[in-house]
Chain A
Amino acid sequence: MTASPLVVADSATMLRRNLRRMRRYPSLTFFIAGMPVVFLLLFVFVLGGTMGAGLGLAGGGRADYVTYLVPGILMITVAGAAQGTAISVSMDMTTGIIARFKTMDIARVSVLTGHVIGSVIQTMIAIAIVVVVAVLIGFRATTGPLEWAAAVGLLVLTAFAISWLSVALGMSAKSVETASNLPMILILLPFLSSAFVPTESLPDGLSWFAEHQPFTPLIETVRGLLLGTPIGTSGVVAVGWCLVISALGYVWARRLYDRDPAA
């Protein structure tokens, strides 16, 4: 596949197409924001009192648990958006217009970049909604605007990585139903991380897994940036995971896009 000098122009066109499609189906964006908001409210108001006490902090109540939980919920929002991306990519690939794009002299990757960037924007809209709810129920960041910007940057990078992966997942699925089930693992992974409880409180095997899977360093970095907790090597590991997942998702998605469609 020759590189087209018009990759940027064609990607922008495809991005506009996807954003317009999202506007025509706004329910998907609200669905993506809805799940983490429900988790947030559920964990804070139903379990928060007990969970907060278990954190072993001085105050140790519902208010402390909100502070602990929000960084994890932000990452869960990013992970949950994968499902929406996979579904819309899978639906799009079955339509005849993709065949049209493939027979046109346009930058081939633009169909994919359009979906990826569109999905990152959709995820960030969902993140904004979650942040508003979090602030309303008492979340306060203790650091400055620079740290906020860095946290947003990491969330964008994570969304970028997960979008490439879910675009590939969406294309690998033979049906829209499969496409909606495949990203479930991404939604489950944060539950086995430091999102809801510190990893030290987990049994040995599970805590080892939690410490070595991508979501824990991602969440610990966001937590450190927003609350000033120690980040240590988490930042580097988190960015590394994002780059690796982006690269794998990109290569896999390109490969799937270039293969012959089913007869």
Chain B
Amino acid sequence: MTALDPRIAIHVAGLRKSYGTQVVLDGIDLDVAEGTVFALLGPNGAGKTTMVRILSTLISADGGEVRIAGHDIVSEPDAVRGIIGVTGQFSAVDDLFTGEENLRLMTDLRHLGKAAGHRRVDELLERFDLVDAAAKPVRTYSGGMRRRLDLAMTLVGDPRIIFLDEPTAGLDPRSRRAMWETIQELVAGGVTIFLTTQYLEEADRLADHIALLDHGTFIAEGTPDELKRLVTGGHVQLSFADVARLDRAATVFDGATRDDESLTLQVPSDGGIDSLRAILDRLEASSIDVGELSLQTPDLDDVFLSLTGDDTQKAMPR
């Protein structure tokens, strides 16, 4: 696939950006196929938002080439802006307006005309479950409602490529699931999604392709399954009442990690039912009393720890 391939929605080559001496993006290459979801994972401060801001024409890059649906972001920014939609991390809604007025503002800026504009607003209010709140000022909205309105405003122009910068950050589980469903509907309709997130689960669920951004470069890239194979953080944690029991258990499970201070044993496991049953069976067979059992599934921290080692400890708190 080349940069001019019509199936390539987003083409990035050698993208660079620094703020002063701090290198934020250090030569990024990326191709996102049309109608797919790309997830950019990374800790806070990794450069995810900077990348979205450059790709959406909000800020300029220091070097490299970016083409959105074949249009160069530097020489044809207006063509790019006509195709994309952006929902940022910080809600891009007018607090002094009602939900309906915010949507009307968007239909006016898209020059939809009075009748078509009205229809579009009603349709989006309905779709995003905002009909009851339509006449209320946005500053009274909950976080989930703001995010829904934000996305609804982005959809007014029927963008073919949508950038979502941490779309579910700070949302409760129900709102998060609703956002996921909306994203899946959009993709089903042929839209390309560029998503940033800190949640591995979110990327796993939505993305066709994932890249891990750290210190300005992609430290890993691939499908969710390919990435998960890189991670070996899953385990079952067993706690015991005393050292004697811990000693006996440690002899039963080869390859387990013991911690004498907390009297726990970490047994590697993929978290599946079969693996759990096998562990319980072995405990039963050796008649060891277990105080507590907990399941630890791999998360973003594990991915980063396994890929970057100690370096990550410095990167994560930012």
- B234 at the binding interface (Cβ < 8 Å): no
Hey, what's the 0/1 contact readout for B55-75 against A, CB within 8 Å counting as 1?
011111000000000000000
A2 to B77, CA, bound (A): 9
Q: Which residue of B lies closest to A98 (CB)?
A: B92
Check if B58 sits within 8 Å of A103, measured CB to CB: yes
- A6 at the binding interface (Cβ < 8 Å): yes
Check if B97 sits within 8 Å of A103, measured CB to CB: no
Q: Which of B84, B91, B105, B157 contacts A96 (CB 8 A)?
A: B91
A105 to B69, CA, bound (A): 15
Chain B residues near A174 (CB-CB < 8 A) = none
Q: 14 more A-B contacts (CB under 8 A) besides A102-B57, A103-B57, A103-B86? A: A17-B97, A95-B95, A96-B90, A97-B93, A97-B94, A99-B88, A100-B92, A100-B154, A102-B58, A104-B109, A105-B82, A105-B157, A263-B19, A263-B24
Q: How many A-B contacts if CB must be within 8 Å? A: 67
Check if B92 sits within 8 Å of A260, measured CB to CB: no
Chain B residues near A261 (CB-CB < 8 A) = 58-59
Chain B residues near A6 (CB-CB < 8 A) = 111
Q: How many residues of B contact A (CB 8 A)?
A: 31
Check if A96 sits within 8 Å of B101, measured CB to CB: no
A22 to chain B minimum Cβ distance, whole angstroms, is: 10
Q: Which residue of B lies closest to A10 (CB)?
A: B109
Chain B residues in contact with chain A, CB under 8 A? 19, 24, 50, 56-60, 78-79, 81-82, 84, 86, 88, 90-97, 101, 105, 108-109, 111, 153-154, 157
Using A103-B86, A104-B157 as known contacts, say yes or no to A2 and B78 having CB atoms under 8 A apart: yes
Q: Which residue of B lies closest to A102 (CB)?
A: B58
A103 to B53, CA, bound (A): 9
Check if B97 sits within 8 Å of A20, measured CB to CB: yes
Check if A96 sits within 8 Å of B93, measured CB to CB: yes
Chain B residues near A97 (CB-CB < 8 A) = 92-94
A6 to B50, CA, bound (A): 30
Check if A25 sits within 8 Å of B153, measured CB to CB: no
Interface residues in A76-124 (C-beta closer than 8 Å to B): 95-97, 99-106
Chain B residues near A20 (CB-CB < 8 A) = 96-97, 101
Hey, what's the 0/1 contact readout for A243-263 against B, CB within 8 Å counting as 1?
000000000000000001101
Q: Which residue of B lies closest to A258 (CB)?
A: B60
Chain B residues near A4 (CB-CB < 8 A) = 78
- A21 at the binding interface (Cβ < 8 Å): yes
Chain B residues near A96 (CB-CB < 8 A) = 88, 90-93
Q: Which residue of B lies closest to A263 (CB)?
A: B19
Q: Which residue of A lies closest to B109 (CB)?
A: A106
A13 to B101, CA, bound (A): 12
Check if A99 sits within 8 Å of B58, measured CB to CB: yes
- A47 at the binding interface (Cβ < 8 Å): no
Chain B residues near A103 (CB-CB < 8 A) = 56-58, 81, 84, 86
Chain B residues near A24 (CB-CB < 8 A) = 96
Check if A9 sits within 8 Å of B94, measured CB to CB: no
A261 to B88, CA, bound (A): 14
B158 to chain A minimum Cβ distance, whole angstroms, is: 12
A14 to B1, CA, bound (A): 42
List, sorted by A's number, 5 A–B pairs whose CB atoms are closer than 8 Å.
A21-B94, A97-B92, A100-B153, A105-B157, A106-B109
A9 to B112, CA, bound (A): 12
A23 to chain B minimum Cβ distance, whole angstroms, is: 9
Q: Which residue of A lies closest to B102 (CB)?
A: A97
Q: Which of A2, A9, A21, A104 contacts B96 (CB 8 A)?
A: A21
Check if B92 sits within 8 Å of A99, measured CB to CB: yes
Q: Which residue of B lies closest to A92 (CB)?
A: B94
Q: Which of A2, A106, A260 contacts B60 (CB 8 A)?
A: A260
Chain A residues near B92 (CB-CB < 8 A) = 95-97, 99-100
Q: Which of B56, B109, B153 contacts A13 (CB 8 A)?
A: B109
Chain A residues near B81 (CB-CB < 8 A) = 103-105
Chain A residues near B108 (CB-CB < 8 A) = 13, 16
A88 to chain B minimum Cβ distance, whole angstroms, is: 11
A30 to B98, CA, bound (A): 24
Check if A105 sits within 8 Å of B78, measured CB to CB: yes
B115 to chain A minimum Cβ distance, whole angstroms, is: 16
Which 5 A-B pairs give the minimum distances between C-beta atoms? A100-B92, A96-B92, A105-B82, A105-B81, A260-B59
Q: Which residue of A lies closest to B84 (CB)?
A: A103
Chain A residues near B78 (CB-CB < 8 A) = 2, 4, 105
B24 to chain A minimum Cβ distance, whole angstroms, is: 8
B97 to chain A minimum Cβ distance, whole angstroms, is: 7
Chain B residues near A25 (CB-CB < 8 A) = 96
Check if B58 sits within 8 Å of A13, measured CB to CB: no
Hey, what's the 0/1 contact readout for A181-221 against B, CB within 8 Å counting as 1?
00000000000000000000000000000000000000000
B140 to chain A minimum Cβ distance, whole angstroms, is: 13
